[in-house]
Amino acid sequence: MSRYDTLNEKQKEAVYDTEGPLLILAGAGSGKTRVLTHRIAYLIEEKQVNPWNIMAITFTNKAAQEMRGRVDNLVGFGAESIWVATFHATCVRILRRYIDRLGYENRFTIYDVDDQKSVMKDVCKRLSIDTKTYKEKAILAAISSAKNELLTPEKYEKLIGGDYYKKKIAQAYWEYQKQLKSSNALDFDDLLMKTVELFQKNPDVLESYQERFRYIMIDEYQDTNTAQFQFVSLLAGKYQNLCVVGDDDQSIYKFRGANIQNILNFEKVFPNTKIVKLEQNYRSTQNILNAANGVIKNNVHRKEKTLWTQNEEGEKVKYKQFLNGFEEADYVTACVRKKVECEEAAYKDFAILYRTNAQSRMFEEKFLNANIPYKIIGGINFYARKEIKDILAYLKTIDNSRDDLAVRRIINVPKRGIGATTLTRVQDYAAENNISFYNALRYASEIPGIGRGVSKVEPFVTFLQSMKSKAEILSVKELIEDILEQTGYIEELRAERTDEALSRIENIDELINKAAAYEESAEHPSLSEFLEEVALVADIDNLNEQSDYVVMMTLHSAKGLEFPYVYMAGMEEGLFPSYMAIVSEDPTDLEEERRLCYVGMTRAMKELTVMSAMQRMVHGETQYSRPSRFLKEIPEEMVEIGNERKRNQVTREEREAAKQNIHAQARQAFKQKIFMPKNLEKQKKGELGYSEGDTVKHIKYGVGIVEKIEDGGRDYAVTVNFEKAGIKKLYAAFAKLKKL
């Protein structure tokens, strides 16, 4: 029996068709890596192709190692001569030999992200660029995007027209490249860009590699950017034996520069292309595939294909709609615990997928309380994230200024220009006088040799002293908001204009949500107790890090993975699809969100559960959302609603019940006592001291007019239109509004 007899008919077709351009549209779970490795074996064994004439390119080192291992096992002798590498590793090997043709020395340095930041910092100084307006990260992100599109500083400058912001970027781009060149260095984007430039300017070099690599295979082709596409096109230009494997329905990296048109227009760029569709899925049940097919067919810009399987029909997709995020996390926790206790599954069989990293917080807390082991993929645990640790360090310093670690963490976050020499002298003074680092800061003017550093230290101390006073009267949520406002922490992140910065802001919003929920449920809310609760939840050092754990990750991180049981959380309009995609003028943004949904659904092998909440905490406020449009796109006959309400059918009574119930949910979720503290007993509406239409004053937001007073269950929700802060929804017991 031939090794190729184990392949299905379409897989065999993809393996046997070796000459000319070939586009393999490989649906989710269709065995594309198996096809690529068998194709390599077939070229060597049956077509007598020399192993060194074969190139296979992947996107990640992990994928390259996996393919290399499979090729070695399949091919045996000669396998080591096959070029299996990532795009970047391939370009480095080429440039090491020929970059001198571009005026560089062959022993060039590759700069990592921190190196790039250091260079850009120097560039901004040289050009007198105001880094408060033009953040180094934002400039580097813009330069990276330009390089992905093969735009040199000169080409970029010609394209930008009269855009003042982009003119500054162009100036920085020129100087940045000049400094890299003088240092004989390249960044990661340069590796591809310079290789393309090398090929374009040196036909002899290009031809030598065209002769070397007569058979080229590219994995995950839907994720290629313009520079990668041009590199591949040049390399395959002579023999045209180019095989690309990908799935346009799984193109989800537009934010990284991926261009879906590379796969959609492949046959236009390479005439005589043969297309093979791998539609048989080996991963999921037919019901899961039918549901996923029903969603993705709503995209216009795609190549027609329908996944099918010989696996069992399986259970219908479960749809659960909850009142809020607490219920959502409770439900998943109960499901995992039940299946594991009944020995139906192990922890590692479960995955929780969500749109944003911030959504992990509630699941993390629930799992810790339930002693369920978990691991976050593609991110770090919520309370271990830099921005969360920064804000918590402020709170710790306010609560207990003897915490030297917390004080040292925030002294230059955001940057205050307090130099290393100053900090060393403060530390020495603290040690000599046996006082805390913070107390030493308070006596900065008495520390010898600190000089002008005093003028930087004193405002920091004054700020912390004022925050300590405010902590006596502000709620924890208000205190966090005040810290963010006074330090400009959020504004600095917004100015970066990067996806990473937006993600950090979302995480901070989730911390505010946590603080608001804590105050709703605590008997006697206090900053000390809040920090204690967070510290206990964040203490995951003793978590059993064996292979048996529930996996949590964003939908972007889930690509290429599979799990028997998948829970897709937060499927609400504005969250998934994201608000930015909904309001975008570019319809392809919404299509990419739908592809992301398709990727999530096709991770499931046995059971898929999709979930939405009627209300969710956003920026510390309760917001109501409609279920995601993607839920409506799942064929009705594929969905098991059971005792849950029908999709999108939320009555007015239920919305009111949700408002009444939010506080009870918070109490249950955070294991707090459920009775009211005496000093915060709910007053009668007439005892508030003000009514709708009255002018009131708030200690933080100033003067405003009461627009609405609503019964929020445990307390009254008061909507106030403040003169400076705008409209705010506050709880009466915490707001302490005074009528003027």
Q: Give the per-residue pLDDT at 608.
A: 97
Q: Give the per-residue pLDDT at 177.
A: 94
CA angle 166, 170, 175 (to 5 degrees): 150
623 - beta bridge partners? Answer: 616
Point out the catalytic residue in the list 195, 224, 230, 250: 250
Q: What is the pLDDT of residues 458-497, one digit of tens each?
A: 999 999 999 999 988 999 999 999 999 999 999 989 888 8
Alpha-carbon 411 to chain mean position: 28
Q: Tell me the average pLDDT across 366-394.
A: 85
Q: Tell me the average pLDDT across 381-389.
A: 82
Q: Count CB-CB contacts under 10 A for residue 604.
A: 28
Long-range contacts of residues 462-467, Cβ cutoff 8 Å, at least 24 apart: 463/487, 464/397, 464/398, 464/401, 464/438, 467/394, 467/398
Q: Give the per-residue pLDDT at 659.
A: 46
Least confident span in 403-407, 427-431, 645-649: 645-649
Report whether pLDDT(60) > 60.
Answer: yes
If pLDDT is split at 50, 70 and 90, which confidence band does 337 have? very high
The CA distance from 343 to 348, in Å, is: 13
Q: Give the per-residue pLDDT at 476.
A: 93
pLDDT over 90, % of the chain:
46
Q: Give the per-residue pLDDT at 537.
A: 58
Q: What is the pLDDT of residues 556-596, one digit of tens each?
A: 988 888 999 999 999 999 999 998 899 888 888 999 999 99
Q: Give the per-residue pLDDT at 540.
A: 33
Q: What is the pLDDT of residues 675-724, one digit of tens each?
A: 333 343 445 666 788 888 888 888 777 888 888 888 755 567 788 887 77
Is 418 in contact with 438 (CB distance < 8 Å)? Answer: no
Report whether pLDDT(539) > 50.
Answer: no
CB-based burial label for 340 (10 Å; 0-12, 13-18, 19+): middle
220 catalytic? Reply is: yes
Q: Give the per-residue pLDDT at 678.
A: 35
Is 153 in contact with 139 (CB distance < 8 Å)? Answer: no
Q: Give the per-residue pLDDT at 55.
A: 94
Point out the catalytic residue in the list 219, 330, 349, 481: 219
Q: How many distinct helices (H) and strands (E) make up the chain?
A: 30, 21
Single-letter code of the amino acid located at 85: A
The CA distance from 17 to 421, in Å, is: 67
pLDDT over 70, % of the chain:
90
Is 230 in contact with 257 (CB distance < 8 Å)? Answer: no
Q: What is the pLDDT of residues 261-308, one digit of tens each?
A: 999 999 999 989 999 999 999 999 999 999 999 999 999 989 999 999
The CA distance from 130 to 128, in Å, is: 6
Long-range contacts of residues 111-115, Cβ cutoff 8 Å, at least 24 apart: 111/180, 111/185, 111/186, 111/187, 115/185, 115/187
33 catalytic? Reply is: yes
* Higher per-residue confidence, 306 vs 647: 306
Region at 45 (left for phi over 0; alpha for psi -120 to 50; beta for the rest): alpha
Report whether pLDDT(373) > 50.
Answer: yes
Kindly report whether the global pTM for this prediction surpasses the value 0.75. no
Q: Count CB-CB contacts under 10 A for residue 118.
A: 12
Alpha-carbon 647 to chain mean position: 28
Structural tokens at position 367: 């799992």
Point out the catalytic residue in the list 603, 629, 659, 700: 603
If pLDDT is split at 50, 70 and 90, which confidence band does 621 have? confident
DSSP state of 637: G
Q: What is the pLDDT of residues 229-240, one digit of tens each?
A: 999 999 999 999
130 catalytic? Reply is: no
Point out the catalytic residue in the list 10, 11, 32, 223: 32
219 catalytic? Reply is: yes
Report whether pLDDT(36) > 50.
Answer: yes
Single-letter code of the amino acid located at 310: Q
If pLDDT is split at 50, 70 and 90, which confidence band does 546 have? low
Region at 314 (left for phi over 0; alpha for psi -120 to 50; beta for the rest): left
Residue 75 host element (H or E): helix 61-75
Point out the catalytic residue in the list 220, 481, 519, 607: 220
Q: Give the per-residue pLDDT at 315.
A: 94
C-alpha dihedral (113, 114, 120, 126), degrees to nearest 10: -160
Q: Give the per-residue pLDDT at 706.
A: 87
Over the chain, what is the mean pLDDT? 85
Q: Are strands 702-711 and 695-698 parallel, antiparallel or unpaired?
A: antiparallel
Long-range contacts of residues 128-132, Cβ cutoff 8 Å, at least 24 apart: 129/168, 129/171, 129/172, 132/495
175 catalytic? Reply is: no
Q: Give the per-residue pLDDT at 114.
A: 67
* Higher per-residue confidence, 329 vs 736: 329
